[in-house]
Amino acid sequence: MAPSQGSRMLSKDDANYKLHFRMINEQQVEDITINFFYKPHTITLLTFTVVSIMYFAFTRDDGDSDNNLRVGLLLVGSFFLVISVLAFPNGPFTRPHPVIWRMVFGLSVLYFLFLVFLIFLNWDQVKALLYWLDPNLRYATREADVMEYAVNCHVITWERILSHFDIFAFGHFWGWAMKALLIRSYGLCWSISITWELTELFFMHLLPNFAECWWDQVILDILLCNGGGIWLGMTACRFLEMRTYHWASIKDIHTTTGKLKRAVLQFTPASWMYVRWFDPKSSFQRLAGIYLFMIVWQLTELNTFFLKHIFVFQASHPLSWCRILFIGIITAPTVRQYYAYLTDTQCKRVGTQCWVFGSASSFSTLFLATFQAFITFLCLYGMVWYEQNYGKRLKVNDSLSAGHLQLTIFTLETSPAESTQSHNDMSVFRVLLYFPCLCLHIKC
């Protein structure tokens, strides 16, 4: 009797595990009232897709080779989204319709595969690909090349403070309101906000636009924009948590106004779950998972700035803001699945969307680091070449004049042994002096 009882217990635990995992990976729609919108329609979809592709293939002008590639890639992506609608899981959300979140998951898979493809390209090939997508990128410049940052920080006037409330300040405010809706924790939001400002200080010598005056960073960014956005998002969370969710079928509503209102409310959450990341009795694994969550979050945001700095396009370019919007959309199911994996003991594996997002973030960081390492070695090679050809005749002589440090370079006659030692000392000195700025090809 013992083995059979153990077998029954194992099957029960397995059923609970599948139930908990399905809630975050394959959420089902409850109380379906209009069956037409939730039937597969696979034959109809296949017929429509094949007819559409045949129409575009045989009616368009194929004289432009570049346009042929663009249209071909666009239709490949569209057909992949059709497959994602039929085969991929719903994820943790079902509003406004599971098809939307299946397509979001399909787009995240395409994004991940595109990053895998980019890793195996060299610098010239990536630049050629960007120029093919947008020829205007040949003439693009960085914001750091035309703007100055953190200048005259001692000058604090109302006019200067008000001038900082631009579209980027609104982006900070609204972005943190959306982040608070996703994270739903004051402690975690404030931790990410403050550590991000520390991240800007750490990478300030690599990304010039991270340089900010103290009052801009502390008061405007952390307290006003970030803090205001966090307060707005958390206030919306508290409001949604206190609501009672009882959804009526649109068939049971007899007025036109009521039907329109119910149709609009379909784009709102079906329910709102209370979230508690931190717990006094949290295990070490849960605490480590929260730290990992913060690190991946910071890396994802940092990649946005490195991406436009390395490949030279501004924040207003669609490559920048479209990527930010896309990352924001796929982050919603990712955070929900990761929270369930971290806090629910019955959930033994991460959801598919969370897995793909983690892989995409890792490959995005690896992709940027690959080109950064190449540029670093190129800069170091140039320094060594310069030192070997010109270093024997140079020496740095420090002299103070009018309270400022001046570097005077002159020729010094020494013995061969002393010259070799001086040459080696100078090489080390210059590497230490110029390494931080040359690592990422920033002009000194």
Rounded mean pLDDT of 44-63? 86
Question: Which of the 8 DSSP states describes residue 394?
Answer: -
- Give residue 281's pLDDT: 80
**Is 197 inside a domain boundary?**
yes
CA–CA–CA angle 183, 211, 154 (5° rounding) = 115
Position 17 confidence tier, pLDDT thresholds 50, 70, 90: low
Residue 261 placed within a domain: yes
In the block, tokens 């059979």 appear at 4
370 compared with 86, residue with greater pLDDT: 86
For the chain, the average pLDDT equals 79
**Residue that wins the pLDDT comparison between 149 and 375:** 149
Mean pLDDT of the region 90-94 = 86
224 located within any domain? yes
Q: How far apart are CA 206 and CA 187, in angstroms?
A: 29
Whether 227 is in a domain gets the answer yes
Report d(CA 61, CA 195) in Å as an integer. 53
Separation in Å, CA 230 to CA 195, 222, 290, 376, 419: 15, 10, 18, 38, 61
Quick: pLDDT tens for 101-143: 999 999 999 999 999 999 898 888 999 999 998 889 888 888 7
299 vs 195: CA distance, rounded Å? 12
Helices 284-310 and 352-390: crossing angle in degrees, nearest 10, is 50
Class of residue 442 by CB neighbours under 10 A (exposed 0-12, middle 13-18, buried 19+): middle
- Cβ distance 411 to 393 under 8 Å? yes
Indicate if the pLDDT at residue 440 is higher than 70: no
Between 362 and 348, the higher pLDDT residue: 362
pLDDT of res. 413: 41
Q: Are 110 and 283 in contact (CB under 8 A)?
A: no
| Angle, helices 186-202/284-310, rounded to nearest 10 degrees | 40
Is the pLDDT reported for residue 305 higher than 50?
yes
What is the pLDDT averaged over residues 388-400? 52
The tally of domains found in the chain comes to 1
Q: Give, in order, the Cα–Cα distances in Å from 154 to each of 14, 85, 151, 157, 205.
A: 64, 57, 9, 10, 21
In a domain, 59, yes or no: no
- Give the least confident one: 114-128, 334-348, 365-379, 401-415: 401-415
Q: Does a structural domain hold residue 43? A: no
Interior angle at CA 212, CA 210 and CA 214, nearest 5: 140
On the question of pLDDT at 176 being above 70, the answer is yes
Among 20-29, 152-161, 182-191, the range with the most confident prediction by mean pLDDT is 182-191
Residue-wise pLDDT tens digits, 234-274:
999 999 988 888 787 787 888 888 888 888 888 888 888 88
CB contact set of 193 (below 8 Å; sequence gap of 6+): 176, 222, 226, 227, 230
pLDDT at 315 over 90: no
Residue 420 pLDDT > 90, yes or no? no
Higher pLDDT among residues 280 and 183, named by residue? 183
317 or 23, greater pLDDT:
317
Question: Highest mean pLDDT range out of 14-18, 180-184, 414-418?
Answer: 180-184
Gyration radius from the chain CA atoms: 28
Buried b (16+ CB within 10 A) or exposed e, 316-338: ebebbeebeeebeebbbbbbbbb
The model's pLDDT over 197-228, given as tens digits with 9 standing for 90+, comes to 999 988 888 888 888 888 888 888 999 999 99
CA-to-CA separations, 77 to 169, 264, 305, 359, in angstroms, rounded: 35, 29, 27, 20
Taking residues 331-353, what's their average pLDDT? Answer: 89
Q: Distances from the Cα of 266 to the Cαs of 102, 260, 271, 437, in angstroms?
A: 17, 10, 11, 52
Q: Considering only 16-25, 291-300, 342-351, which range has the smallest mean pLDDT? A: 16-25
Q: Which of 424 and 19 is assigned the larger pLDDT?
A: 19
Which range has the top average pLDDT, 63-67, 111-115, 158-162?
A: 111-115
Q: Which residue range is the domain that position 197 belongs to?
A: 157-275
In the chain, the percentage of residues whose pLDDT exceeds 70 is 77
Q: Look at residues 16, 1, 32 and name the one whose alpha carbon lies nearest to residue 266.
A: 32
387 falls within a domain: no
CB-hemisphere CA count at 13 Å for 324? 19
Report helix angle 352-390 to 123-133, nearest 10. Answer: 120
Alpha helix stretches (DSSP H) within 37-166: 42-59, 65-87, 98-119, 123-133, 143-146, 158-163
Distance CA 329, CA 350 (A): 18
Does the global pTM surpass 0.95? Answer: no
Q: What is the mean pLDDT of residues 84-99?
A: 88
Residue 53: strand, helix, or coil = helix
The pLDDT value given to residue 284: 86
pLDDT exceeds cutoff 50 at 287: yes
Q: Pairing relation of β-strands 404-409 and 396-401? A: antiparallel
- The reply to whether 166 falls in a domain is yes
The CA distance from 208 to 373, in Å, is 19
